[in-house]
Amino acid sequence: TSEIIETDAVVIGAGPCGLFAVFELGLLDIKAHVVDILDRPGGQCAELYPEKPIYDVPALPIVTGQELTQRLMEQIKPFSPKFHFSEQINTLSREADGRFRLTTDAGTEFLTKVVIIAAGGGSFTPKRPPLAGIEDYEGKSVFYSVRKIEQMRGKDVVIVGGGDSALDWTLNLAPVARSLTLVHRRDEFRAAPHSVEKMRKLVEEASIRLLIGQVAALEGANGELSAVQVKTANGVESVPCTAMLPFFGLTMKLGPVADWGLNLHENLIHVDTERFETSEKGIFAIGDINWYPGKLKLILSGFHEAALMAQAAHRVVYPDKKLMFQYTTSSSSLQKKLGVK
Ligand code: FAD
């Protein structure tokens, strides 16, 4: 898209701290767009431990990563933030009028008065299988995520991995692929038991194949795969393949944040503890991505940082407006914004 989105705030990262930032900004009439590389909200809570309980979120004695995400989404609903998932913010620069221009890898452009970097441990990046020449096929016949199921129709699909993503995509793509082979190094899976059961049923019905082994080499030309060689206990087998989907998990890398000219402290963004502002006025950093003396990488710290950041962002977005401190319990204007009055 070539459309330019003009807004008050862009929040980079839809982890718990980015989500709560939308709430604190919203109370102060600051409208936000939220961008995340992942295809859904929650950051580490959603990607790394959706089912694990968290015990130290104030007033929630026990809450899973997924539940916390759902509750935050519910809490920020009144402010109807616009989400841009499966997109990475690549560039950030200042315009002559003082606003910031941000661009994503999908071509979305923003012009915004303030930027809130809530990028956590950085960009979630798929782990690349150690196969010679795989870079040449990426985006053409090797995919680390599926944006549209239709894209896989009529293909000879090979899915590699044994976790939830591998199993989910095996089940989803089995009906549209011309052939589908699931390759995993052992006959044990780290996925939801009912998905594993369904997969085994498809194998029994001969709708799909399960190969226990490892992809050892790729065959093809000009970015188009024709087959993959799979090393099994019985030797090497060439499996027809026009689309390979490796699901080896995600790692977090700092990514483009490092290129934005901000003062860093051991790969974290240095901020003050009054405004949580970076070395660049109007660019704030909250949550796991920031650093200051005494910083704790806890969700509750990020929530506090979001509240103070919003006060400071207000001065940038509305330089002529005076901010009155108000409680949500007693302020009818805040309650109006929350849609409870
Ligand atoms: P994150 O949750 O890391 O989210 C950042 C998001 O930003 C990511 O989704 C990422 O994709 C996105 N992003 C980064 N760069 C870009 C870019 N350039 N463009 C677009 N998107 C980008 N904390 C607790 O308080 N209590 C606990 O009990 C607890 N248990 C934990 C258990 C585990 C196993 C782990 C891994 C962490 C735990 N934590 C816990 C830590 C907690 O998850 C983090 O403190 C919290 O997730 C930080 O939130 P965040 O919003 O700052 O960043």
Q: Is the CB of 49 under 6 A from ligand 1?
A: yes
Q: Which residue has the tokens 């795989």?
A: 134
Question: Residue 158 C-alpha to ligand 1 middle, in angstroms?
Answer: 31
* Residue 320 in marked binding region: no
Per the model's pLDDT, the better-predicted residue between 43 and 2 turns out to be: 43
Q: How confident is the model at residue 2 (pLDDT cuts 50, 70, 90)?
A: low
Cβ(192) – ligand 1 distance below 6 Å: no
pLDDT of residue 145: 84
Cα–Cα distance, 330 to 198 (Å, whole number): 53
Pick among 3.40.50.720, 3.30.70.20, 3.40.109.10, 3.50.50.60: CATH of 128-248? 3.50.50.60
Ramachandran class of 44: left when φ > 0, alpha when ψ lies in -120 to 50, beta otherwise: alpha
Instruction: Mark residue 96 as left, alpha or beta (left: phi above 0; alpha: psi -120 to 50; beta: remaining).
Output: alpha
- CB neighbour list of residue 321: distance below 8 Å, 6 or more residues apart: 314
Q: Where in the chain is the domain with CATH 3.50.50.60?
A: 4-124+251-337, 128-248
More confident residue, 173 or 251: 173
Residue 241 marked as a ligand binder: no
Mean pLDDT for the chain? 95
Is 140 in contact with 227 (CB distance < 8 Å)?
no
Section 109-128 average pLDDT: 94
Atom of ligand 1 nearest to the CA of 256: 18
ipTM: 0.99
Decide: 120 in ligand 1 pocket, CB within 6 A.
yes
CA of 43 to the centre of ligand 1 (A): 5
| Predicted structure pTM score | 0.85
Residue closest by Cα to atom 6 of ligand 1: 13
- Condensed to tens digits (0 to 9), the pLDDT of residues 208-254 reads 999 999 999 999 999 999 999 999 999 999 999 999 999 998 888 89
CATH superfamily assigned to domain 4-124+251-337: FAD/NAD(P)-binding domain (3.50.50.60)
Atom 40, ligand 1: which residue's CA is nearest?
298
- Overall size of the chain counted in residues: 341
How far away, in angstroms, is 41 Cα from ligand 1 center? 11
Q: Is 249 in the pocket of ligand 1 (CB under 6 A)?
A: no
Cβ distance 180 to 266 under 8 Å? no
Within 8 A by CB and 6+ apart from 294, the residues are none
- What pLDDT is recorded for position 135? 95
**Hey, whose CA ends up nearest to atom 18 of ligand 1?**
89
Average pLDDT for 15-21: 98
Instruction: Please state, for a pLDDT cut of 70, what percent of the chain lies above it.
Output: 99
Q: Does ligand 1 lie within 6 Å of residue 102's CB atom?
A: no
